[in-house]
C-alpha cells in the first residue's frame, strides 16, 4: 500500500497540486477537526465510491491511518490503483504540521 507523510501532503496542498483528499472518519470526528477533505465515513466507502476519483491521485486519511488503510484495501478490490494512505492521520498532522488543530 502506498503511503504519504503529512509533510508530503502539506507540500501537495501548498503547491495547489490536483489531487483528492478523502477523510474516512465519522461525522463528529470531522466536525471536531479536519483539513478540508471530502468526508466519506469508512462504513459507506463502497456505497459512495463513485465520489472518489480514478483519474488523479487520491490521499485517504483518518485519525491514525488504520481506517484509511482499511478503506484503501476495499477500494483496491474495486480496481482503484491511485490511492495513498496518510501515514499517522490527523494525529500526525497535529503533531507535525498544525499544533492548534483539535485532537481527540
CATH code at 69?
3.40.250.10
2/14 Cα distance (integer angstroms): 21
User: Tens digits of per-residue pLDDT, 36-54?
Assistant: 999 999 999 999 999 999 9
Average pLDDT, integer, range 50-65: 98
Q: Which among 24, 62, 69, 84 is annotated as catalytic?
A: 62
Residue 8 domain flag: yes
One DSSP character per residue, 33-89 reads: ---SPEE--GGGTTTTGGGS-SSS-EEEE-SSSHHHHHHHHHHHHTT---EEEETTH
Q: What is the pLDDT of residue 73?
A: 98
pLDDT class of 104 with cuts at 50, 70, 90: confident
Range of the domain at 29: 3-96
Strand order across the beta sheet in which 83-86 lies = 3-4, 83-86, 58-61, 20-23, 38-39
User: Tens digits of per-residue pLDDT, 64-86?
Assistant: 999 999 999 999 999 999 999 99
Residue 101 domain flag: no
Overall residue count recorded for the chain in this entry: 104
What are 100's three cell numbers? Answer: 492548534
Residue 104 domain flag: no
Catalytic-residue membership of 85: no
Structurally, the chain folds into a number of domains equal to 1
Q: Is the pTM of this model over 0.95?
A: yes
Amino acid at each position: 500500500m502506498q503511503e504519504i507523510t503529512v509533510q508530503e501532503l502539506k507540500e501537495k496542498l501548498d503547491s495547489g497540486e490536483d489531487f483528492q483528499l478523502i477523510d474516512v472518519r465519522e461525522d463528529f470526528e470531522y466536525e471536531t477537526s479536519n483539513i478540508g477533505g471530502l468526508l466519506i465515513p469508512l462504513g459507506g466507502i463502497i456505497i459512495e465510491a463513485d465520489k472518489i476519483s480514478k483519474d488523479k491521485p487520491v490521499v485517504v486519511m483518518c485519525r491514525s491511518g488504520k481506517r484509511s488503510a482499511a478503506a484503501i484495501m476495499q477500494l483496491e478490490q474495486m480496481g482503484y490503483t491511485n490511492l495513498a494512505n496518510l501515514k499517522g492521520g490527523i494525529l500526525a498532522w497535529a503533531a507535525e504540521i498544525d499544533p492548534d488543530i483539535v485532537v481527540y
